[in-house]
Amino acid sequence: MAVYNWDWEGLIEDWREERKKVGDKQIFYFKDYGNYLKIYDKRNSKKMESHVLDKIEREVFLACHDVISFQKLQEQFPNIPKYKLIAILESFVHKGIVFQEDDSYLKLLLPYRHTKSQPSKRKKPKQSHQTFQSFFPKDF
């Protein structure tokens, strides 16, 4: 039997340096745009990938947020033919975005989250000067 002596501290430091090159704290995540979903895979800094899921693929992918059986997926998506559902799930497993064990599936990504170092680019809604309490009399 082979015995491996790993330099764990060195491996961890190498991993940290590689993560700094990527620059993003999140390395495996998705952004949901409603009619489609975009997946970002930065696990390998030398081969960063992104995948776009169409509306149907998006719905199937999101249904795998908890472990779900193929039978339950078929029940949840009766309008998707069996062969197409199988093809969608196989493509997810092949891309490494869904884990499969027997006939059960689980998505492996978390939704994108803004961090302190990555402020949201959304415009903040304008503040109204009138508050909810101003609608009531002061002695209410």
According to CATH, the topology of domain 19-113 is Arc Repressor Mutant, subunit A (1.10.10)
What pLDDT is attached to residue 32?
95
Nearest residue to 96 via CA among 46, 31, 35, 27: 27
Mean pLDDT over 74-99 rounds to: 97
Q: CA-to-CA distance for 14 and 131, rounded, in angstroms? A: 53
State the average pLDDT for the chain.
81
Q: Which residue has the higher pLDDT, 63 or 115?
A: 63
Q: CA-to-CA distance for 29 and 13, rounded, in angstroms? A: 23
The model's confidence at residue 138, banded by pLDDT at 50, 70 and 90, is low
Least confident of 8-12, 64-68, 105-109, 134-138: 134-138
The model's confidence at residue 96, banded by pLDDT at 50, 70 and 90, is very high
With a cut of 90, say whether residue 73 has pLDDT above it.
yes
What are the residue boundaries of the structural domains of the chain, listed by start?
19-113
The model's confidence at residue 127, banded by pLDDT at 50, 70 and 90, is very low
